[in-house]
Amino acid sequence: MNVIQILFWFLSALALVSALMVLLSKNPVHSVLWLVGVFFAISGHYILLNAQFIAIVNLIVYAGAIMVLFLFVIMLMNLNKDTEPQKNIWMKLAGAISAGCFLMILVSLIKQAPELQAKTAMMKEGDIGLIGNLGKALFSTYVVPFEISSILFLSAMVGAVVIGKKD
Amino acid sequence: MLLSIDWILFLEKLILIAIVIFASLGIALYTTFAERKVAAVLQDRPGPNRAGPFGLFQPFADGLKLIMKEEIIPNTSNKVLFILGPFLAMTAALMTSAVIPWSSDVHLFGRVIPLQIADVNIGILYIFAVVSLGVYGIMIGGWASNNKFSLMAALRGASQAISYELAMGLSLIALLMTTGTLQLGEIVKQQMQPGHWWNIVYQPLGFLIFIICAFAECNRTPFDLPEAENELNFGYHQEYSSMKLGFYSFSEYVNMFISSVVMATLYFGGYDVPFLNESLLSPNVAAIVGVIALLIKVVIFIFIFMWVRWTIPRFRYDQLMNLGWKSLVPLALANMLITGALILWLGK
């Protein structure tokens, strides 16, 4: 086991435990904080793959902005343990079984995908994730999808303003 | 070999981290003292002058007082999060220093030691990410206190930080267009080159926007709305006592120090000494001169922070939001467009 493997297993364990705690904790504020932990672990994985830009953007956008808005909503609506809706045991069981089936299908699909057969992740190598190379790729090879997605964001923003506008 | 680590490099970085953290804390300690002295000078009174010569031991007396105070955790609060709040605020404040270049390389025992903990590819974005995480300390502390005033203050603080991050990011984009790199070490080296001015010459408007946003991000007057005593009692740390309160107020001073360093690095040449060709000096002397130059710039910025605090009254909340969204964001956008057009026109 070298350092990278140790880090990989540590981050994977951290991500899984935090993700479980998101679901298991009764208090919504705790769930949000565990979710921030998941984002940190995933950013760690990105850094192991030498994708520094996406690692840090993941933190800025998800941990730094979106989760803060989640916290805002939870704190302003004063959600806590008592307001958490209690589902009955059959609902929980049905949910667990269907989610388990979905997980099984997903894993078997990924294991059998011909694109992924006999491929290993490049640790610490590969420089497409560095910001200069990524920017050049986005604005040359992938410029059309990139610009289209920016239109998507613009329309989402306009939509939010229209909904939020008082009339 | 189980772990193949370059142990000397590891040790080197560990020592550097320890020095940076203790230096940040020490400077923050004396910033509290300087704040009281500057306030005293501006208000024409002597200020703290009892503990030691010129009152120089005052910060230690303050620290001792905070540690000795009774630790009160409100009965209704969420205990874990209540303790986590100040911890997060302090961690986020100290983490920023990891990518700052403190000076040029030092040559010691036949090794070249860079005085920067990590010269990562994404330097500025890293600072940005840590700053955006600093909100959690305020929000969690304010919410876990289970006090309406604290919650109001925390929400104010968070929305203020989010609003001003936007203008800050836009002003940074204009700077990045002129430098062409995000690595802080590289940005300083560019400014040190002969025939190249400091970035403030190329980005005066960008710097103005950046410093205003830095004031807002540090929750300093005139933007200290999360601590507006006359409308919120005491602000988001109302229920805190003892050293947890100390951590909150201390992290504000660490933030002030770090943002001064960032401004000096990005816009005022970092460890560059004006009109001096550092390459003529021996490397170690150049490094020491560089650290001193950077610290002098930082002290000037910290003084400006205090000068503004004791001169300008606090904004109202709607004024704050108007300034952020309706003045600074359009200005920053215009600055970005003008910078882009000029770069295109001059073909730089």
Are A60 and B159 in contact (CB < 8 Å)? no
Residues of A whose CB is below 8 A from B158: 68, 71-72
Task: Tell whether A71 and A141 lie within a shared domain.
Answer: no
Q: How would you write the pLDDT of chain A (167 residues) with one tens digit per residue?
A: 677 888 889 999 999 999 999 988 888 888 888 999 999 999 998 888 888 888 888 988 888 888 888 888 888 887 766 666 777 888 889 988 999 999 999 999 888 888 777 777 666 667 777 788 888 888 888 999 999 999 999 999 899 889 888 76
Are B3 and A2 in contact (CB < 8 Å)? yes
Interacting residues of B99 by C-beta distance below 8 A, sequence separation 6+: B116, B117, B118, B119, B120, B123, B126, B127, B184
Are B135 and A60 in contact (CB < 8 Å)? no
Residues of B whose CB is below 8 A from A26: none
Task: Tell whether A139 and A120 lie within a shared domain.
Answer: no
pLDDT at A124: 66
Task: Tell whether A67 and A105 lie within a shared domain.
Answer: yes
Task: Tell whether A139 and A117 lie within a shared domain.
Answer: no
Task: Tell whether A34 and A71 lie within a shared domain.
Answer: yes
Task: Tell whether A94 and A33 lie within a shared domain.
Answer: yes
Q: Where do runs of H (alpha helix) occur along chain A?
A: 3-24, 28-48, 52-58, 67-76, 89-112, 131-139, 143-164
Task: Tell whether A13 and A74 lie within a shared domain.
Answer: yes
Task: Tell whether A66 and A138 lie within a shared domain.
Answer: no
Instruction: Kindly state the helix (H) or strand (E) to which residue B89 belongs, with its residue range.
Output: helix B79-95
What range defines the domain where residue A36 resides? Answer: 3-81+88-129
Collapsing DSSP to helix, strand or coil, A62 comes out as: helix
Collapsing DSSP to helix, strand or coil, B134 comes out as: helix
Residue with tokens 């103005």, as numbered in its chain: B208
Task: Tell whether A18 and A100 lie within a shared domain.
Answer: yes
Mean pLDDT in residue range B232-242: 79
Task: Tell whether A134 and A124 lie within a shared domain.
Answer: no
Chain-centre distance for alpha carbon B309: 16
Task: Tell whether A92 and A46 lie within a shared domain.
Answer: yes
Between CA A137 and CA A127 the distance in angstroms is: 12
Task: Tell whether A146 and A70 lie within a shared domain.
Answer: no
Nearest CA in chain B to A130: B121
Are B162 and A68 in contact (CB < 8 Å)? yes
Kindly state whether B118 is in contact with chain A, defined as any CB-CB distance less than 8 angstroms. no
Residue with tokens 């946003």, as numbered in its chain: B213
Select from B3, B81, B155 the Cβ nearest to the Cβ of A3: B3
Between CA B162 and CA B137 the distance in angstroms is: 14
Interface probe with B: pick from A30, A75, A139, A161, most Cβ of B within 10 Å:
A75
CATH code of the domain in which A97 resides: 1.20.120.1200
In chain A, the number of structural domains is 2
Instruction: Kindly state the helix (H) or strand (E) to which residue B111 belongs, with its residue range.
Output: strand B111-115
Select from A2, A29, A56 the Cβ nearest to the Cβ of B4: A2
Nearest CA in chain B to A5: B3
Radius of gyration for chain A, computed over Cα atoms and rounded to the nearest angstrom: 20
Kindly state whether A4 is in contact with chain B, defined as any CB-CB distance less than 8 angstroms. no
pLDDT at B3: 58
Summarised one tens digit per residue, pLDDT across range B29-70 is: 889 888 888 888 888 888 888 888 888 888 888 888 888 888
